[in-house]
Amino acid sequence: MQTNLEASGMIEFFKVLPNLFSGGVYLTDPKTGQILFSNDFFKNNLGCHKTNEECFESDLLLWVAEEDKSNFRDQILFPSKHFERDTAQGDYRFRMPNEILVRWFQFEKRKVNIPNMDSQFQIVFVRDVTNEKTNEINIVEQIQFFLGLFENASVGMALQDWEGGYFRTNPRFTEITGYSFQNLTDLNIKRIKGEPISEEEMEYFGFFKEGAEESRLTRKDGRRINVYRRISAFRNSQGKPDFYYVFLDDVTEKKQIESYQLHSQKMETIGSLATNIAHDLNNYLQPIHVFSQLGEEQIKAGKYDQNKILEYLEKIRMGADNARSMIHRIIKYSKVKDEDSAAKIEISSVVESTIPLVNAGLPKNVEAQFDFHKSPLYTKLDAVRFSKILCELTSGGLLVWDDRKRGLVRVKTSPADEFKLLVSMEFTGLSLPSLSGLNTLDFVNFGDEEFQWTGMHLINRYVKNWGGEFYIEKPEPMTVLIHIFLPLEEGQVLLGATKSNQENKPKDVWSVISDKEIWIVEDDEAASEAISFVLSQKQITPKVFRSASSALENLRIRIPDFILSDYRMREMNGLNLIRKIKKANPNLSAVLYTGNMDGLDSEELDAEGILVRSKPISVDELYETILLSFGFL
């Protein structure tokens, strides 16, 4: 047979064929199944390397995957069944030795007539189609995966043609809208025929605006729902949309929850603001309540000093003016219209009146501390606008707080020099994105064109309009300092109140109490002065402290027998202060008074030996409380 092939010139043909066909080629005798000739590709990938024995096409069956053996045997190995056909073709999986992955080969068998030979032979072309089949399988799997996701998605999905008709929807889409695929098809037919459909039904045939949005839809049952809708177009080679992919999610419940949470946050802010306002108003009401009661008692007794009554009235007027000033600022702050009305003001009073607003806007993990210069500092600016600036800087809108750690902002007023005053703000506990923009800054004055943070340029502009300067400093990696310099106006120095000399008419118990170490801790000057004045009527000269820290420092020198402390103070609340002092004096007589009893358990504190009283505390109630704390009642 080999001699006949050489005589016919077929050997030369097969030597040239590999140059024309890159795959494997072999010639087989259909009667015997013997492989008469094969090229190098076939030998290297599938062929027979026997030297002395003949190779048969059936040897390939050893490497064919089990699931393809039957087809390969019927279509390729048994020529008697297919000999009448001109070609036989198929793709088959092979599991080759020493190879983990399956390989795909395409076999194409054709009849070939060789001159001067009676028998017909078959030539087989073999191509490695592993990559093509793998891609094909992947595509099929991806389509099946996509269809699985489409049908089982937790959000609504639909495919819509360029005319608005639906050709596929998933169950969730039907659940959200109430419309089945058949319902939408019927509506679309009515729409195309020109039959009337409602505006609510027409909403489902207008999804041609690509992008995402939140809108409202009407379900089939008539209920309006909030939906998140995203539409993407699949375009053809001309760039025209072939169909649209609609993504739909029902966010009605989410919107309701967000609305509830927003309402809760507003109510919480209002409650916090109301608490802080009530605290400050109580401080203003304290001297009004005390001095009005003292004046009334002296007038009723018929023995009063006109100058003393005038002094009482002046104290009452000051408390009323302070309260009225704060209320006016709050009312003006809440106005929508933005008016810039600069006027001469005392800067510490503006900052102090803003404390309730600052505290209300701060996150729960952030504390605010304030330190005011002891002497008045006057400047000319819009007090309401300045209050808003303080709130914007501290609330987290411009400088974002890190909610994972404790934050602190310290606000301080002081004279910068003989021409300027300074309002400084020190921030710790800000988020890293807020700090990252300041990594390269030392002490830079930001101009309008240099501001990188939204809103800062407006603050800078306002400060410049008032004749001031706005600076940002980053002295430490996690600390930010903001300095607002303002021109200092000539102001009147407020004189302290004169000490009163009342007639000494003590009772025996008050004589005992007057020998005790009495402390008053109150951060409001007017309130502490009123209480001191009341105690002076019983020949008691208390030590007054304006902060918890100053009281603790004095604890090293003297230990008090009695302490009356405000609860809400800037550095440390009064309850913590009293508990610290009680460690030094377990027998301490203590009174905690506050304008807000929320969170305080009177019975629990009474068991600790701490009396709790509400602001404003009257003269009689103050006397009674002191006697009770010392055990005289």
Same-domain pairing of 357 and 478: yes
Q: What pLDDT, on a 0 to 100 scale, did the predictor assign at position 53?
A: 58
Query: Residue 498 pLDDT > 50, yes or no?
Result: no
pLDDT tens track for 267-289: 777 777 777 777 777 788 888 88
Task: Quote the CA–CA distance of 468 and 420 in Å, as a whole number.
Answer: 8
Task: Tell me the CATH number at 7.
Answer: 3.30.450.20
Same-domain pairing of 466 and 516: no
pLDDT tens track for 383-430: 888 988 998 889 877 788 888 889 999 999 999 988 899 999 999 998
Same-domain pairing of 607 and 551: yes
Residue among 509, 581, 515 nearest 545 (CA): 581
The verdict on residue 295 lying in a domain is: no
Query: What number is the average pLDDT over the span 572-585?
Result: 91
Same-domain pairing of 188 and 45: no
- Band (pLDDT 50/70/90 cuts) for residue 590 is very high
Provide the number of structural domains found in the chain. Answer: 4
Look up the domain containing 75 and give its range.
Answer: 2-131
Under a CB-based contact definition with an 8 Å cutoff, are residues 104 and 6 in contact? no
Task: Quote the CA–CA distance of 38 and 18 in Å, as a whole number.
Answer: 10
Query: Residue 80 pLDDT > 80, yes or no?
Result: no
pLDDT tens track for 511-561: 889 889 999 999 888 888 889 988 998 889 999 999 999 999 999 899 999
Q: What are phi and psi of 436, to 5 degrees?
A: -65, -30
Q: What pLDDT, on a 0 to 100 scale, did the predictor assign at position 266?
A: 73
Q: What pLDDT, on a 0 to 100 scale, did the predictor assign at position 553?
A: 92
Under a CB-based contact definition with an 8 Å cutoff, are residues 403 and 365 in contact? yes
> Does 105 or 363 have the greater pLDDT score?
105
Query: Residue 89 pLDDT > 80, yes or no?
Result: yes
The verdict on residue 167 lying in a domain is: yes
Task: Tell me the CATH number at 341.
Answer: 3.30.565.10
The verdict on residue 619 lying in a domain is: yes
Task: Quote the CA–CA distance of 232 and 584 in Å, as a whole number.
Answer: 73
- Band (pLDDT 50/70/90 cuts) for residue 563 is very high
Same-domain pairing of 475 and 514: no
Under a CB-based contact definition with an 8 Å cutoff, are residues 473 and 443 in contact? yes
Query: Residue 565 pLDDT > 60, yes or no?
Result: yes
DSSP per position, 50-68: -SSS--BGGGGGGTB-GGG
The verdict on residue 81 lying in a domain is: yes
- Band (pLDDT 50/70/90 cuts) for residue 564 is very high
Of 76, 98, 131, which one is at a domain's C-terminal end? 131
Query: What number is the average pLDDT over the span 588-600?
Result: 81
Task: Quote the CA–CA distance of 540 and 561 in Å, as a whole number.
Answer: 13
Task: Quote the CA–CA distance of 169 and 235 in Å, as a whole number.
Answer: 20
Q: Using DSSP bridges, classify how beta strands 420-428 and 87-94 pair: parallel, antiparallel or unpaired.
A: unpaired
Task: Tell me the CATH number at 547.
Answer: 3.40.50.2300
Residue among 77, 86, 64, 61 nearest 29 (CA): 77
Query: Residue 572 pLDDT > 60, yes or no?
Result: yes
The verdict on residue 301 lying in a domain is: no
The verdict on residue 370 lying in a domain is: yes
Q: What pLDDT, on a 0 to 100 scale, did the predictor assign at position 101?
A: 87
Same-domain pairing of 470 and 347: yes
Task: Quote the CA–CA distance of 90 and 73 in Å, as a whole number.
Answer: 11
Both structure tokens of 480? 């930010």
pLDDT tens track for 53-67: 578 888 899 899 999
Under a CB-based contact definition with an 8 Å cutoff, are residues 157 and 173 in contact? yes
Query: Residue 585 pLDDT > 70, yes or no?
Result: yes
Query: What number is the average pLDDT over the span 597-619?
Result: 81
**Residues near 117 by beta carbon (within 8 Å), at least 6 away in sequence:** 4, 8
Same-domain pairing of 523 and 583: yes
Q: What pLDDT, on a 0 to 100 scale, did the predictor assign at position 506?
A: 41
Task: Quote the CA–CA distance of 104 and 92 in Å, as a whole number.
Answer: 6
pLDDT tens track for 437-492: 555 443 344 444 444 455 777 888 889 989 999 988 888 888 899 999 999 986 43
Highest mean pLDDT among 238-242, 521-525, 568-572, 612-616: 521-525
Query: What number is the average pLDDT over the span 144-163?
Result: 82
Query: What number is the average pLDDT over the span 583-607?
Result: 83
Residue among 416, 432, 429, 360 nearest 390 (CA): 360
**Residues near 594 by beta carbon (within 8 Å), at least 6 away in sequence:** 279, 566, 567, 568, 574, 600, 612, 613, 614, 615
The verdict on residue 499 lying in a domain is: no
Same-domain pairing of 91 and 193: no
Of 250, 267, 298, which one is at a domain's C-terminal end? 250
End-to-end CA distance of the chain, in Å?
A: 134
Q: What is the three-state SS of 471-538?
A: EEEEEECCEEEEEEEEECECCCCCCCCCCCCCCCCCCHHHHHHHCCCEEEECCCHHHHHHHHHHHHCC
* Average pLDDT of every residue of the chain: 81
DSSP per position, 595-631: S--TT--HHHHHHTTEEEEESSPPHHHHHHHHHHHTT
Highest mean pLDDT among 117-131, 171-185, 235-249: 171-185
- Band (pLDDT 50/70/90 cuts) for residue 6 is low
Query: Residue 15 pLDDT > 70, yes or no?
Result: no
The verdict on residue 357 lying in a domain is: yes
Task: Quote the CA–CA distance of 125 and 13 in Å, as a whole number.
Answer: 14
Q: What pLDDT, on a 0 to 100 scale, did the predictor assign at position 447?
A: 45
- Band (pLDDT 50/70/90 cuts) for residue 2 is low
Same-domain pairing of 124 and 186: no
Same-domain pairing of 351 and 427: yes
Q: Model-level pTM?
A: 0.36
Of 487, 522, 538, which one is at a domain's C-terminal end? 487
What's the distance, CA 509 to chain centroid?
A: 60
Task: Quote the CA–CA distance of 611 and 623 in Å, as a whole number.
Answer: 13
Same-domain pairing of 103 and 165: no
**Residues near 151 by beta carbon (within 8 Å), at least 6 away in sequence:** 170, 171
Same-domain pairing of 423 and 530: no
